[in-house]
Structure 1
Amino acid sequence: MTLKRSLPALPLMLAGMPAAAHTGLNEAPGFGAGFLHPLGGLDHVLAMLAVGLFAALLGGRALWAVPASFISMMLVGGAMGLMGTQIPPAEVGVAASVVVLGAMLAVGNRCLISVAMILTGMFAVFHGYVHGVEMPTGAAAALYCLGFASASALLHGAGLATGLVLGHRQMIRVAGALMSVAGFILALS
């Protein structure tokens, strides 16, 4: 019972932990820099947790397909960023992902898994693009991408585990509403 009560605080704990990720101190050239990058922004953390919660809400094949869609399309976006491809306001796409995914959770939307994969994959391109564009000079691109994909997968897993342990649609809806509001605030700041 204590685990169920403490899990809703997990996103807040994860969001507060990596505040030093963008200080430039002790940044690893490659995997470490890539791993820390998604943890350095509340918008990224919230979106990754929302993807996991969304997969838990849908259940079944979505438990692996939705996060896998996000990770694969995020890597496509990362490659686009590394190659210098221009994506119009990517940060707006990142903030929109938090707002929209949070809203989907808030209304308890149970859509087709294919629709969830397309929606999360579309937003993933923006997240990956930002990671790719912001890769530190001198970082090994493949290791950097592996790093941000690994951190994102862990955050998806945290959202998924939270959703499965809570198992209560109302708690997931409340979390989604809070995420959506946070996304609006982040978009305005």
Structure 2
Amino acid sequence: MRRLALALASLLIATPAAAHTGVGATAGLVHGAMHPIGGLDHVLAMVAVGLFAWLAGGRALWVVPAAFVGMMAVGGALGVLAISVPAVETGIALSVVVIGAMVALGRGLPLALGAAVVGVFAVFHGHAHGTEMPETLSGLAYGIGFMAATAVLHGAGILAGLGLGKASAAHGAKLVRAGGALTSLAGVGLLAGAF
């Protein structure tokens, strides 16, 4: 059993000899977990999802991040299967604009609508990385790592909201909303190609 476990672990973290050119390493759990942290667009959108979940409160704390991760997996599967999704890069940049704006506006959206909006944008994020993944066990591990790191970034957004809320009951939500506005502006910069 120990040898089998070691063999499976090796497959999960091993990288292939010939990775896709121009996109970096796209195989194994570690590469999948590290990839989201290296992209400004992904970090901004994921932390904003967490901030939005915190502002909405209650069930949104788990429903909104779960909607994103679940639909990102769907988008990843579409990418692996080479099923085209139009305007992926534009959709990713727009996710930063729109989710940042949702944070800036505060609690105005019903939970189902907020989860649906982040879910639609998650398909773009997932598709972009699904097209990069090899169709192997190592590619599956990459996808799992990518989803786990995404959930951690959502958690970072939730914790940032909690921290700001506890630090200043009067101004915490205002600071989070200001962060959402800055995120949305950064998304406009991404759309314009400034980053």
- The TM-score with structure 1 as length reference comes to 0.82
Other-structure match for 1:170? 174
Identify the residue that residue 118 of structure 1 maps to in structure 2: 116
Q: 2:48 corresponds to which residue?
A: 50
Q: Which runs of 5+ in 2 are unaligned?
A: 1-21, 166-171
What SS does the corresponding residue of 1:111 show, helix, strand or coil?
A: coil
Give the gaps of 5 or more residues in structure 1. Answer: 1-21
Letter aligned with residue 185 of structure 2: V
CA contact (8 A) 2:26 2:133 kept: no
The alignment status of 1:90 with 2:88, answered yes or no, reads yes
3-state SS in 2 of match to 1:140: helix
Give 2:153's aligned residue: 155
The secondary structure found in structure 2 opposite 1:145 is helix
Per-residue CA shift, 1:2-36, capped at 9, x if unaligned?
Answer: xxxxxxxxxxxxxxxxxxxx884xx4731122112
Structure 1 or 2, whichever has the larger Rg, is: 2
Equivalence for 1:144: 142
Contact 1:57 1:110 in 2 (8 A): no
Alignment partners' CA distance in 1, 2:160 and 2:51 = 7
Against the structure 1 CA distance between its residues 37 and 139, is the aligned structure 2 distance closer, same or farther, given a 3 Å change threshold?
farther
> What does residue 32 of structure 2 align with?
34
Runs of 4+ in 1 over 4 A off after TM superposition: 136-139
Let me know the Cα RMSD of the aligned residues.
Answer: 1.8
CA contact (8 A) 2:69 2:150 kept: yes
- Aligned to 1:187, which of 181, 187, 191? 191
CA apart distance, 1:177 = 0.6
- Give per-residue Cα distances to partners, 1:122-155, cap 9 Å, x unaligned: 0100000011112268672221110100110000
AA aligned to 1:134 is E
Q: Is the deviation greater in 108-117 or in 73-82? A: 108-117
Report the TM-score when normalising by structure 2: 0.80
Count of residue pairs brought into register by the alignment: 166
Deviation at 1:39, TM superposition (A): 1.5
In percent, how many aligned pairs have the same letter? 51
Select 1:66's aligned residue among 61, 64, 67.
Answer: 64
Separation (CA, whole Å) in 1 of partners of 2:94 and 2:63: 21
